[in-house]
Structure 1
């Protein structure tokens, strides 16, 4: 019993050592690296099953990662689909087209702090971020078309592409 008491006393003493002299740190923003010196960042988005993980949510994650406030040449976004679903492939192509033509330039132009389109349009009914209402509606409509295409799954306008990908996957 004495050994157990001594062991607990020792563990307690070690846990209290950090409270005796707490460490405080001060940030110096002037000493941070300049934009040219920032390292490259790879963002890996992993999905396995489009039935269990909604494809629209996965594409929102990919588009959000593409819209991060980081130098253009230093950020790379990868999508890993373990199931090899043609639905995810087609959704990724549509999300990439939406991100590069609409969403990323929109975020950079208005310096948005919310890079996720689903979140931005869910709570941003007021115009407090300086974005003109007509442009907000244009982006929202474009996002709705992409989400509807992805959300309907096999009812894509380009179903021949999905069938071709499926037949190629079965042959290999």
Structure 2
């Protein structure tokens, strides 16, 4: 038993040291957030300023409320589905965020992969029509007889020429990966 006594004492000391190290590591990790904020404040990097309650909310200064643009929506379906916008047109101010929804219904008892391609009229409006979210950004997969609502979130750049009062956004929705039809001449 004499041999075990020194190793128990060493084990207890090691355990005590490990517990102290673990507590110090936890404390250091806990203190990192306030230290990081203080260092950033002192150096002027990544300043995290709290919201001042005395400051009034200011609207989006990028919106040109002196102009109104009519945006018309169109849909062309090249495939076995129904495809349409939920509204025919909306009126927006340049710089104002807007959202419309297109609906598509797969009328087939099979899954279909499809893609939408947008077009704009007049053509000069294309560079001023800014989409933030659009189903046209990626391929869509529609399950058998599935209906899907697909949003388009956009704004019109205030730099749009003043003579443009109406923009038409048209989508052509077509099936991709269509198998070659049998009996077709080569």
Question: TM range, normalised to the smaller chain?
Answer: under 0.3
For normalisation by structure 2, the TM-score amounts to 0.26
Instruction: Pick the structure with greater CA Rg.
Output: 2
For normalisation by structure 1, the TM-score amounts to 0.28
Compare the two structures and name the one with the higher helix fraction: 1
Compare the two structures and name the one with the higher strand fraction: 2
